C-alpha cells in the first residue's frame, strides 16, 4: 500500500450520522421556539452550515447569546444524552478499517465534531480500537480550525509517514492541501459534491469499496 497513514473525517465519511445530528438540533431549536422545516431537513448539505445560518434559514432571529445557549443545548443532547441509535458506518467501511488494522497502517480521525461526542460515539459503537488518534473540532480549542488540527496530528502522531486524508466536504480537501498531503474526496456523504470536486482532491471515490480498491489493488500495494 502506498500510504502508511490514513486519517478520516467522521460525519459523512466514516459514518452516516445525519439523523442523530438532526435530532439533537431539533431538541435544541424547539427550546428556542425555532422549527426546522421538513424540506430543509431532507437536504444533508444543510448539516454542513453554521448553527447561526440554520437558525436564520428556518425563520429564527436569535441574539449571539441565544445562539451560544443553543449550541450548549445541542452539545448536551449529542454529547451526553443520545446513544446514537441511527448512526452507522457506511457499507464497506468496517471491512476497510479491518484491512487497514491488519496491515498495521496507522489510522486517525480529524472531525469538526466535539471531542467528547466523537470519543463517546466510537466507544458506544465499538470502534475505538480501529483508530490510534482521535481529534475533534475542539481538540486544540475552539479558536482552531481543521487545517490546524490536521497539521497538529501530522506532526504529533503521523510524523514521517506518507499520509492521506479522506473526507466528504470541500473543507477536508482544503485542509489536505494546506498541509501538503494527498486526499480522497468521497461523494456519498453530506458535503456538496460540486464544492468538493472544485477543490481538486487527489482521488475521488463513490463508496468505501472504491477506497479499499484504491488502497489495496495490485498497482498500489
Residue 220 has pLDDT above 60, yes or no: no
Every domain of the chain with CATH number 3.40.50.1000 lies at 5-17+87-216
Every domain of the chain with CATH number 1.10.150 lies at 18-81
pLDDT at position 143: 73
CATH class of 18-81: mainly alpha
Q: pLDDT of 68-82, one tens digit each? A: 899 889 989 998 899
Closest CA to 79 of 145, 124, 128: 124
| pLDDT, the chain, mean | 93
pLDDT at position 144: 77
Closest CA to 3 of 177, 188, 166: 166
Residue 219 has pLDDT above 80, yes or no: no
Mean pLDDT for 156-166 is 96
Q: pLDDT of 181-191, one tens digit each? A: 999 999 999 88
- d(C-alpha 135, C-alpha 149), whole Å: 7
Residue showing cell 482544503? 174
Q: What percent of the chain has pLDDT over 90?
A: 81
Q: pLDDT of 104-154, one tens digit each? A: 999 999 998 889 999 999 999 999 999 999 999 888 777 778 999 999 999
- d(C-alpha 2, C-alpha 147), whole Å: 23
pLDDT at position 47: 87
pLDDT at position 207: 98
The β-bridge relationship of strands 88-89 and 15-16 is antiparallel
Residue 177 has pLDDT above 90, yes or no: yes
Q: pLDDT of 198-210, one tens digit each? A: 999 999 999 999 9
State the SS3 of the chain. Answer: CCCCEEEECCECCCEECHHHHHHHHHHHHHHCCCCCCHHHHCCHHHHHCCHHHHHHHCCCCCCHHHHHHHHHHHHHHHHHHCCCCCCEECCCHHHHHHHHHHCCCEEEEECCCCHHHHHHHHHHCCCHHHCCEEECCCCCCCCCCHHHHHHHHHHHCCCCCCEEEEECCHHHHHHHHHCCCEEEEECCCCCCHHHHHHCCCCEEECCHHHHHHHHHCCCCC
**167 vs 218, more confident:** 167
Q: What angle do CA 109, 184, 75 make, to 5 degrees?
A: 35
pLDDT at position 221: 47
Mean pLDDT for 46-68 is 90
- d(C-alpha 116, C-alpha 139), whole Å: 9
CATH class of 5-17+87-216: alpha beta
pLDDT at position 185: 98
pLDDT at position 141: 74
Give 218's pLDDT tier (boundaries 50, 70, 90). low
18: left (phi over 0), alpha (psi -120 to 50) or beta: alpha
Amino acid at each position: 500500500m502506498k500510504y502508511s497513514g490514513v486519517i478520516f473525517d467522521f460525519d459523512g465519511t466514516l459514518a452516516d450520522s445525519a439523523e442523530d445530528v438532526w435530532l439533537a438540533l431539533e431538541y435544541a431549536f424547539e427550546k428556542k421556539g425555532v422549527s426546522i422545516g421538513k424540506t430543509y431537513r431532507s437536504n444533508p448539505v444543510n448539516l454542513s452550515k453554521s448553527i447561526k445560518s440554520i437558525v436564520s434559514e428556518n425563520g429564527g432571529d436569535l441574539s449571539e447569546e441565544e445562539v451560544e445557549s443553543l449550541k450548549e443545548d445541542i452539545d448536551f443532547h449529542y454529547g451526553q444524552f443520545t446513544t446514537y441509535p441511527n448512526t452507522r458506518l457506511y457499507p464497506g467501511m468496517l471491512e476497510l478499517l479491518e484491512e487497514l488494522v491488519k496491515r498495521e497502517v496507522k489510522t486517525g480521525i480529524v472531525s469538526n465534531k466535539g471531542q467528547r461526542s466523537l470519543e463517546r460515539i466510537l466507544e458506544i459503537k465499538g470502534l475505538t480500537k480501529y483508530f490510534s488518534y482521535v481529534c475533534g473540532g475542539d481538540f486544540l480549542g475552539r479558536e482552531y480550525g481543521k487545517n490546524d488540527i490536521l497539521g497538529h496530528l501530522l506532526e504529533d502522531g503521523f510524523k514521517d509517514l506518507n499520509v492521506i486524508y479522506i473526507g466528504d466536504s470541500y473543507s477536508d480537501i482544503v485542509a489536505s492541501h494546506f498541509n501538503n498531503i494527498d486526499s480522497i474526496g468521497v461523494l456519498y456523504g453530506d458535503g456538496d459534491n460540486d464544492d468538493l470536486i472544485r477543490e481538486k482532491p487527489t482521488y475521488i471515490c463513490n463508496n468505501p469499496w472504491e477506497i479499499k480498491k484504491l488502497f489495496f489493488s495490485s498497482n498500489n500495494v
